[in-house]
A and B are shown apart, each in its own frame.
Chain A
Amino acid sequence: NAGVTQTPKFRILKIGQSMTLQCTQDMNHNYMYWYRQDPGMGLKLIYYSVGAGITDKGEVPNGYNVSRSTTEDFPLRLELAAPSQTSVYFCASSYPARGRVGGSGTDTQYFGPGTRLTVL
């Protein structure tokens, strides 16, 4: 298994440009997440998805959009890039949390390698 993969690894955008960060996992995980990591800070949840066709906002969703048309893919869209969106973006996936309705398996979140985005 390749696990969680992300593209691109690096990207520089100009203010106002748009782009899509790609995330794919081959572990058949239901849950997928997008985080951003700013220097000296922890991981902040942007959006998450509990399955194909279902997405929801995390802590910091403004300026982003997501879709989940398949179990494998969870792209993150930036419509009008701003300097405040300069960050490292991590995608992650997991099985349903143990103890939840329909949940089984591990709670471990598996992270992709990240995308370093700079907005100038």
Chain B
Amino acid sequence: GENVEQHPSTLSVQEGDSAVIKCTYSDSASNYFPWYKQELGKRPQLIIDIRSNVGEKKDQRIAVTLNKTAKHFSLHITETQPEDSAVYFCAARSYGGSQGNLIFGKGTKLSVKP
């Protein structure tokens, strides 16, 4: 089945700097890659996603890139702000024997220092 690896597990940046979180996946048939943000004590919320027919997608300060050949995708946050501090999870959708369930990475704790 699908396996998703996420790095780094923790990331600390200064306000205004950029942050990059990387994920790799194992199933070449996966075709949907969302990123979720989870603030402390809150529920995960989708911030951006990308499909396998697109190489890059941007939404204001957030962008996601996908390299299907290498089977990795990355989240880029520019001009980071303290409110970006949270745990970020990547995921990949693997059909396998299921209905297209998401497999999540273990998360990256991002700290943005003012």
The digit string for A32-56, where 1 denotes a CB below 8 A from any CB of B, is 0100000011111100101000001
Q: Give B1-41 as 1s and 0s: 1 = Cβ < 8 Å from A's Cβ atoms.
A: 00010100100000000000000000000011010000000
Which secondary structure characterizes the binding site on chain A? loop
Q: From A31, A111, A113, name the one whose CB has the most chain B CB atoms within 10 angstroms.
A: A111
A60 to chain B: closest CB distance in Å? Answer: 12
Interface size on A, residues (CB 8 A): 24
Task: Report how many A-B pairs have Cβ atoms within 8 Å.
Answer: 56
Whether the Cβ atoms of A107 and B32 lie closer than 8 Å is yes
B107 touches A42 (CB 8 A): yes
Q: Indicate if the CB atoms of B34 and A31 lie closer than 8 Å.
A: no
**What residues of A have a CB within 8 angstroms of the CB of B9 in the complex?**
40
A48 to B98, CA, bound (A): 10
Q: Is A74 an interface residue (CB 8 A)?
A: no
Contact of A107 among B42, B43, B93 (CB under 8 A): B93
Q: Which residues of A contact B67 (CB under 8 A)?
A: none
Which residues of chain A come closer than 8 Å to B104, judged between CB atoms? 42-44
Cβ-based interface call for A27 (8 A): no
- A75 in contact (CB, < 8 A): no
Given A90-B43, A97-B93, A42 and B101 touching (CB < 8 A)?
no
A42 engages B106 (CB within 8 Å): yes
Chain B interface (Cβ within 8 Å of chain A)? 4, 6, 9, 31-32, 34, 42-46, 49, 89, 93, 98-102, 104-107
Could you jot down 20 A-B contacts, CB within 8 Å?
Answer: A33-B101, A40-B107, A41-B107, A42-B89, A43-B44, A43-B104, A45-B101, A48-B98, A48-B99, A56-B99, A90-B44, A97-B93, A97-B100, A99-B31, A107-B49, A107-B93, A108-B46, A109-B34, A109-B102, A111-B43
